[in-house]
Structure 1
Amino acid sequence: MMTQDTKTDKTPLEGATVLVVEDDAEDARFAMKLVESLGGRVLHADTVSAARVHCAENDLAVILLDRMLADSEDGLALFDWYRELEAAAPCVLITSRLATTDDHVRGLDLGADDYIDKPFDLRELSARLRALMRRAETQRAPASVFIWGDLEIRTLNERALWLGEVIKLRPQSFKLLSALAACRGEAVSRAALWREVWPDYRGLPPQDAVINTSINRLRKSLAELDAPPQIVSEDMGYRLVV
């Protein structure tokens, strides 16, 4: 007897989120329609940078990954991003017109679970998706990653990136930047910053000299970037402008 939570053959993607990374409008439409017909929630990106945002903000079960994308970046760059995070990517099915044996070997060696050549048959794509779901691990998206505009915060390894480049920060500056970025442009009081960045001294009132020094140090680090985010002083504290 089948329980209510068991997926049927008609809805093998029920409860799963699938990211379609594809810049060809027709191919994207077919793939997205197929995912929905299999009961899945579908997201779409046509560049690697847009795909990274979806990966950071959603618990993905499967990624359908094209290689030649709108920003002229190879879709395989997404594996490099996951590798830098020291995180496992969701199950990845590459769909590409780069169809030589070397192309297949490279994609699979980098971490893809499967590779299908374009143009693909929807029945075959459906079968491969069902096979991936049978072995997909649950919720492998890097929930420790925060992306806001061109700013990327990686909390596990305490790294911040601007326009894809690592920002040189001291550990305390990283914590300060993370606390400001988490509020997405809203003002953060000095008291809140003190509790977040200096948790060992929560019993003390905010130390203005310590906070001022840290803010100035972070501003100097950000000033070295191209068109950097700005830390704006407010009556209530500080806010980050990206």
Structure 2
Amino acid sequence: MEKNIANLKVLIVEDDDLLANQVKREVTSLGWEFVIVGTVRAARAKFAKVAFDLVILDRMLDDSEDGLALIRWFNELETKAPGILVASRLGATHDHILALDLGADDYINKPYDLEELNARLRAVARRVRGKRVPESVEVWEGMEIRTINRTALWHGEAISLRPQSFEILKVLVSLKGEYISRDVLWRSVWESYKSLPPQETVINTALSRLRGNLSVLPDAPLIINNRLGYRLTLKKADNQE
């Protein structure tokens, strides 16, 4: 496990024992500590005692309180909120938008694929690191993103990018080769339109342009996508998958 996402403390807010055990297994496989509670009230009580790094949050809980109430509570605190992955059967677009606008980092619909859950957890964990330790430079393999002067470099050579392409690349590099879902990519890059569902044509055109920018680089990194979302990879690593 990479150091920047190792030794995390995770609060699992889930009242379904079967699903809680599934999440527990994935969290354990990542080497993280965890506590399981079944209500928002219990979650508040635990968080008052332990500084959790990440919360996996159901919405329809035993106390009939929407799990999103916990995010609202985090927003009222003076300390920095943990990373939040909402996992819920409420899977409509407006449910996603509501949670993400409140401050959730990602949203996964139930029933979920365990491989996807694991990937989403790792991606949120990296964003937690970004929240807690603000950085002006992101580095992944030979790629360097300098956020203050908005410059991208590949093995020390500047890459000519449009502002939108830079924003997409910045998000992908920050995840260190892990996946980001289409919904989260849309709301991370197209912030002015995050209340709209992801626009396939806009995303595809922007990614095609960025792929073109990257394709001229020596040993260019690739942007791949599948059901888990999008991620950066090296050609060599991609051939080994």
TM-score by length of 2: 0.52
What does 1:84-163 correspond to in 2, within 5 Å?
A: 84-137=76-129
Q: Secondary structure at the match of 1:30?
A: helix
Q: Distance in 2 between matches of 1:84 and 1:132?
A: 21
Q: Identify the structure with the greater helix proportion.
A: 2
The corresponding residue for 1:52 is: 44
What CA deviation, in whole Å up to 9, does each residue of 1:127-181 have, x standing for no partner? 01111111214897xxxxxxxxxxxxxxxxxxxxxxxxxxxxxxxxxxxxxxxxx
Structure 1 gaps of 5+ residues are 1-6, 141-242
Residue in structure 1 matching 2:20, options 12, 28, 43: 28
The corresponding residue for 1:65 is: 57
Q: Distance in 2 between matches of 1:129 and 1:97?
A: 18
Q: CA deviation at 1:33?
A: 1.2
Q: Is the 8 A contact 2:39 2:61 kept in 1?
A: yes
Number of residue pairs aligned between Structure 1 and Structure 2? 132
Q: CA deviation at 1:28?
A: 0.3
Q: Distance in 2 between matches of 1:138 and 1:40?
A: 18
Q: Distance in 2 between matches of 1:108 and 1:32?
A: 23
Q: Is the 8 A contact 2:4 2:129 kept in 1?
A: no
Over the aligned positions, Cα root-mean-square deviation in angstroms equals 1.9
Q: Distance in 1 between matches of 2:122 and 2:131?
A: 17
More displaced stretch, 131-140 vs 115-124: 131-140
The corresponding residue for 1:40 is: 32
Q: Sort the Cα spacing of 1:62 and 1:111 in 2 relative to 1 into closer, same or farther, 3 A.
A: same
More displaced stretch, 95-104 vs 49-58: 49-58
Q: Sort the Cα spacing of 1:139 and 1:103 in 2 relative to 1 into closer, same or farther, 3 A.
A: closer
Sequence identity percentage: 50
Q: Distance in 2 between matches of 1:23 and 1:13?
A: 26
Q: Is the 8 A contact 2:14 2:37 kept in 1?
A: yes
The corresponding residue for 2:7 is: 15
Q: Sort the Cα spacing of 1:116 and 1:12 in 2 relative to 1 into closer, same or farther, 3 A.
A: farther
Deviating 4+ runs (over 6 angstroms): none
Q: CA deviation at 1:54?
A: 1.5
Q: Aligned letter for 2:52?
A: L
Q: Sort the Cα spacing of 1:12 and 1:124 in 2 relative to 1 into closer, same or farther, 3 A.
A: farther
Q: Sort the Cα spacing of 1:29 and 1:75 in 2 relative to 1 into closer, same or farther, 3 A.
A: same
Q: Sort the Cα spacing of 1:49 and 1:73 in 2 relative to 1 into closer, same or farther, 3 A.
A: same
Q: Is the 8 A contact 1:59 1:139 kept in 2?
A: no
Q: Secondary structure at the match of 2:75?
A: helix
Higher Rg: 1
Structure 2 gaps of 5+ residues are 133-241
Q: Aligned letter for 2:50?
A: N
